[in-house]
Amino acid sequence: MKSILPINLAFERVVGNLAQLPFDEGIEIAVCGRSNSGKSSIINALGNNKKLAKTSKTPGRTQTVNFFTVNDDPQTKLVDLPGYGYAKASKQDQNNWAQLVESYLLGRQCLKKVVVIMDIRHPFKEADLVFLDWCKGLPINIFICLNKADKLSNNQAGQSLAAAQRASQEYPEIVHLQICSAEKGNGLEALGSFITS
C-alpha cells in the first residue's frame, strides 16, 4: 500500500489573537497538547520537514496559532494551537491561553477534527481533561496520540494505552488512540489518514 506520509504541510499564516483568524470556511484540523508532549515534533514528522514547527527542550510560552495548508488544498488546514499545562507559566499567560483556545474551539464552525498529543508516560493529565471537557458535545472527532513510545517497552506502552482507553470512555468525541513516536516515526500513518481522510 502506498504511504500516506509525508503530508505536504505548507505554512500559511500565524495569528496572535482571535480577531486575526481567517474566515471560518473550509476544514480545520486542530493540534493541541501539553507543552513538551512533542506537538511540534509530530507536525514536523508528518510533513518530513524539521523547519515547520519549532521544537525545544524547554517548554515555550508562545501563544500563537499557526496555520498550515494540507496537501496543497487551500480549504484544508492544520491548526497548531498553543500548548498547555506549562507549570511555570504565569497566571496571566494561562488565562490568555484559556481564552484563546476555548473561544477558538467553541466558535469555529469549520473545525472538524482535533488531534491531542500526550506523552505516553503521562496521559490524561488535569490540563488534558480541561481541554477535552471544552470539546465535549462539539461535532468533532478527536484523535489521541500517545507520543514518545520509544521511551517505554512494548509492554509498558500497552499498559499505558489500556489506561488511556479507560479514561477516554468519558469522551465520546475520541475516535482513536494511537501509540506513536515522532522520533522513530512509528504510529504516524494512522494519524496521517485521520488528517487527510
Ligand X SMILES: Nc1nc2c(ncn2[C@@H]2O[C@H](COP(=O)(O)OP(=O)(O)O)[C@@H](O)[C@H]2O)c(=O)[nH]1
Binding site for ligand X (CB under 6 A): 33, 35-41, 55-57, 59, 83, 147-148, 150-151, 181-183
Q: What angle (nearest 5°) sits at the alpha carbon of residue 59, between those of residues 45 and 89? A: 140
CA dihedral (47, 49, 53, 56) positive or negative: positive
Contact 160, 190 (CB under 8 A): no
Nearest to 193 by CA among 180, 183, 124: 180
Here the cell at position 193 is 489518514
Residue 40 interacting with Mg ion (CB under 5 A): yes
Query: 9-15 and 111-119 as β-strands: parallel, antiparallel, unpaired?
Result: unpaired
Number of shown-chain residues binding Mg ion (CB under 5 A): 2
Choose the stretch contacting Mg ion; rule: CB under 5 A; options: 21-29, 34-42, 150-158, 167-175: 34-42
- 44 touching Mg ion, by CB under 5 A: no
Closer residue to Mg ion (CB): 39 or 113? 39
Distances in whole angstroms, Cα of residue 80 to Cα of each of 1, 52, 159, 162, 172: 29, 11, 29, 27, 23
Grid coordinates representing 114 are 482535533
Residue 105: helix, strand or coil by DSSP? helix
Residue closest to Mg ion when measured from CB atoms = 40
Instruction: Work out whether 181 is an interface residue with Mg ion (CB under 5 A).
Output: no
Nearer to Mg ion, 98 or 175 (CB): 98
Q: Cβ 121 to Mg ion, closest distance in Å? A: 18
Picked from Mg ion, ligand X, none, the partner binding residue 181 (CB below 5 to 8 A depending on kind) is: ligand X
R_g (Cα) of the chain, nearest Å: 16
Residues 195, 113: contact at Cβ < 8 Å?
A: yes
Q: Which residue is closest to ligand X by CB? A: 38
Q: What is the DSSP letter of 58?
A: S
Give the binding range for Mg ion (CB under 5 A) out of 12-20, 38-46, 105-113, 142-150.
Answer: 38-46
How far apart are CB 39 and ligand X at their closest, in Å? Answer: 3
Smallest separation, CB 58 to ligand X (Å) = 9
For ligand X, the closer CB: 26 or 150: 150
Residues that bind Mg ion (CB under 5 A): 39-40
